[in-house]
Amino acid sequence: MITWRRVGEPDFPLLRTWLEQPHVARWWNHETSPEAVARDFGPAARGEEPSEDFLALLDGEPLGLLQRSRLDDYPEERDELAAIVPVPSGAVTIDYLIGDPRRAGRGLGTLMISSMIERTWDDLPSAPCVIVPVAAGNPASWNALRKAGLRRVAQGELEPDNPIDGREHYVYRIDRPR
């Protein structure tokens, strides 16, 4: 069973360890010094930024990280995405990782995504949908989204998270149940 808790500063060493894992570093392309982790995750942990960082816990043990944000809170990201797909007001996006490489590829990403989407409908009653862009070259990620019930709604060019990737992205969406 997946449970969630907000990331706090005591979690930064764990996040750093996860970000250094080759299966994570390939797609997240994140600086991993203690200072960089504190710089990038500190504002959300302290509530100074509108995005939310959550630790996914599987049977109480840390499994992964999931970031959730309203696209309206990040106009540059929203506008870039809106160039290839309609983005309704209140739309939410997520980004995620499984930290331990031994747990990757076992369907836990799908479980994590599904769990957070269900939580999103409760936490954010005005959110009409969740929209997630993913690099076209990352089939593990877009397959996890598909298995979690999201559907591919667009394909287009977006700025990649990792400069070694091309700009081609797939965009997945799930709408709030009626």
* Tens-digit pLDDT profile for residues 97-109: 998 877 777 778 8
Mean per-residue pLDDT for 152-164?
90
Q: pLDDT at position 67, please?
A: 96
Q: pLDDT at position 23, please?
A: 85
- What pTM value is reported for the model? 0.92
CA distance 116 to 82: 23
CA distance 26 to 35: 20
Of the listed ranges 36-40, 77-81, 91-95, 96-100, the least confidently predicted one is 96-100
77-101 burial: b if 16+ Cβ within 10 Å, else e: bbebbeebbebeeebbbbbbbbbbe
Q: pLDDT at position 126, please?
A: 96
CA distance 121 to 61: 24
N residues, the chain? 178
User: 101, 21 in Cβ contact below 8 A?
Assistant: yes
CB proximity list for 33: less than 8 A, separation 6 or greater: none
Q: pLDDT at position 103, please?
A: 78
Mean per-residue pLDDT for 117-129?
97
pLDDT band at 165 (very low <50, low <70, confident <90, very high): confident
Q: pLDDT at position 26, please?
A: 82
Of the listed ranges 42-51, 58-67, 157-166, the least confidently predicted one is 157-166
Phi, psi of 29 (to 5 degrees): 45, 55
Return the DSSP state at 177.
P
**């302290």: which residue's tokens?**
46
- Side by side, which strands form the sheet with 52-58? 2-6, 52-58, 61-70, 92-98, 129-135, 168-175, 151-157
CA distance 66 to 99: 11
Beta bridge mates, 171: 133, 154
pLDDT band at 1 (very low <50, low <70, confident <90, very high): confident
Closest listed residue to residue 131, CA positions, set 44, 49, 68, 40:
68
Q: pLDDT at position 25, please?
A: 82
Q: pLDDT at position 104, please?
A: 78
